[in-house]
Each structure stands twice: as C-alpha cells, then as structure tokens.
Amino acid sequence: MTNVKAAITGIHGWVPNYVLTNQELESMVDTNDEWITTRTGIKERRILKGEGLGTSDMGAEAAKGLLEKKGLSAEDIDLIICATATPDMLFPSTACVIADKIGAQNAFGFDLMAACSGFLFSVATAAKYIESGSHKRILVIGADKMSSIVDYEDRQTCIIFGDGAGAVLLEPTEDGMGIQDSIMKSNGEGRHYLHMKGGGSVKPASHATVDAKEHFIHQEGQTVFKFAVKGMADVSAEIMERNNLTGDDVAWLVPHQANKRIIDATANRMGVGTDKVMLNIQRYGNTTNGTIPLCLWEWENQLNKGDNIILAAFGGGFTWGSVYLKWAYDSK
C-alpha cells in the first residue's frame, strides 16, 4: 500500500451570461416564482445561447481558467475525464473535443456518464489513476448544456435545469490530504423515472421520436425526489460513519444541487448545520455535472487546508454516492 492520495489542487468554473429567471419562465409555461422557489429553491439559471456552442465550449472555458490560475500548460495534463449527460455528440467523447480546444496534446480522455452523479464518480475514478501512480495531473470536468435536452413546454422539468461547467485538477499528495474515501452506487431499476428515451441505440432519432418529444428529459419528479432524499442522506451518513466523523467534524457538505429540500434533508440527517452547506441552486438551478464543481469554485476562498468535506450526489440511473476528502490547500 502506498500513502499517495489524490488531492484537488485547483478549481475553476464557468457559466454562460444569459440569465433565465423564474419571471421569464412564467411567460413560457403555467408556473410562478412562488411555486418554483418554495418547491425547489431556484430563482434563476444560466443558459448557453449561440449557434454551434455546446458542452465542450463551457468545459474548455472552465479548464482554461483553471490552467491559467495554476500557471500550467495544457500539455502538462495527462488525463481528462469529462462528466456529462449532454455530450457534444454521441461520439467522439466531449473529453476529446475539450482536449483539442485547450491544446492538451499529452492527455488521453474519456467521458463518464452517470447522470447527475457523474462528477462525483469521475473524481473517485481519477483518484484511482493517481493512487496507482500511473497519472499525475488529471482534469476532471463536470459540464452540461441541459438546455439542449429540456422541453420548455414541460413545467415539471424546465424550471429545474440550467447550463454550466466546473473543472478540478487532481494531483498526488503524500501529506494525508486529498480523497480519503468514496462510496458509489447505481441501480438500473430507477431508469424508468428519469431518462431521455430517444437518440440512443434503442430509439434512434426519427420523425416519430421527434414528434413524441423523446429527445427531451422525462422525469417523474415525486418518485425521483423520494429516492434522492433517501439515497443522498443514506450514503452521506454511511461515509461519515465508516470514517468516524460527526457533524461537528465536517467543515462543508457539497451536495448536488437538484432541489433545496433534498439538500436540507441530507444535511439534517448528517447533523450538519445549514451554515456548512454549499448552496447556489438559487442562481444556477440544476446544472447536472456542473453543480458540485461550481459550488467548490464559488466557495474556494473560504476553504482551508485540512477541512473535512463531503461531496454527495444523486441522479438518473439511479446513481448516487459520496466522497470524503480533506481539502489540500489554503485558498486565500
């Protein structure tokens, strides 16, 4: 056993300029600001506008900003994992496109698809490459252009999602900081409640799939909500228990931003006060793979070396999990 761990050593985020407010949504579907705010906590979300722009453009911006902050060249990166549910295309991978856009000529790359848990699964996967000694500088990018698969006539889903991207750099450390533990779960029985039917190998795009709106997200909200509350709370409690952590030991909970009520239930179960919960759902909505890195990015200045941080996510599949890490640097 080596004592090499994978530490997040840098973070950056990127969101598009266009702000889609609850008020604008009121003019599009039968909804209102009060309903959206009380049921989800969301006030506004960002939308990527512009012909020919996709997930890779947001991911590349986040990655470029991160490299600049760290004073690194893209050629220093040896692996890029892109967590996304909205790849630029089915293939090639968005990670390959980002590598090209930022000039990462020495990296191999792939996409990791685990719906809203993708960023968390990607961080845990990247950690294994670092712990094994095979790779030294890994970019994990969580990026989604959710507006490309949202039906803006469906009030149950269009109020939730937004676009955005975040990127973290993972490097080896031997000072005890970094990723300490991870728990990842999936259960395909949940696939019926949150999915996009069209465009895959079962239902390739056709006039019929377009007419039936099968290239949009379909979500049975209440069912997903119930599983999400239990899944995220259970897995967060489990990772705390097996690492002998109490609520007082946890400096920050970084939850996937799907619904403020799910986040509150998770924090409550963990015994973590709301002052220690990163929450930006009110400004960005659910950016799927962007949520956790966008939180870390916005809170970076408040993080201190040694802070115990729990990341937690739940998403389509179902997929869910938690990561326990010790923050590796003083950010101020």
Residue 226 contacts residue 232 (beta carbons within 8 Å): no
Is 286 among the residues known to form the active site?
yes
- Specify the pairing of strand 44-47 against strand 18-21: antiparallel
Give Dmax over CA atoms of the chain in angstroms. 59
228 contributes a contact to ligand UT7 by CB under 6 A: yes
Nearest to ligand UT7 of 199, 221 (CB atom): 221
Angle at 300 between CA 305 and CA 6, to 5 degrees: 55
Closest to 217 in 3D by CA, of 286, 320, 140? 286
* 280-299 binders of ligand UT7 (CB under 6 A): 286
Residue 246 contacts residue 271 (beta carbons within 8 Å): yes
Shortest distance, position 179 Cβ to ligand UT7, whole Å: 23
Nearest to ligand UT7 of 124, 262 (CB atom): 262
Shortest distance, position 118 Cβ to ligand UT7, whole Å: 11
- Specify the pairing of strand 79-83 against strand 138-145: parallel
Residue 224 CA to chain centroid, in angstroms?
17
Nearest to ligand UT7 of 258, 279 (CB atom): 258
319 contributes a contact to ligand UT7 by CB under 6 A: no
The residue with tokens 């993972």 is 170
96, 218, 256, 295: the active-site residue: 256
- Please count the residues of this chain forming the interface with ligand UT7, following the rule CB under 6 A: 19
Full DSSP string of 166-185: EEEEEEEE-SS-EEEEEEEE
Among 20, 116, 139, 265, binds ligand UT7 (CB under 6 A): 116
| 147, two tokens | 């507006």
Whether the bond between 92 and the residue before it is cis, its omega within 30 degrees of 0, is yes
Among 18, 19, 26, 31, binds ligand UT7 (CB under 6 A): 31
38 contributes a contact to ligand UT7 by CB under 6 A: no
**Residues 147-186: x/- map of binding to ligand UT7 (CB under 6 A)?**
--------xx--x---------------------------
Among 35, 108, 152, 299, binds ligand UT7 (CB under 6 A): 35
The number of residues making up the chain comes to 332
Active-site positions read: 116, 256, 286
The residues of the shown chain that bind ligand UT7, judged by CB under 6 A, are: 31, 35, 39-40, 116, 155-156, 159, 221-222, 224-225, 228, 258-259, 262, 286, 314-315
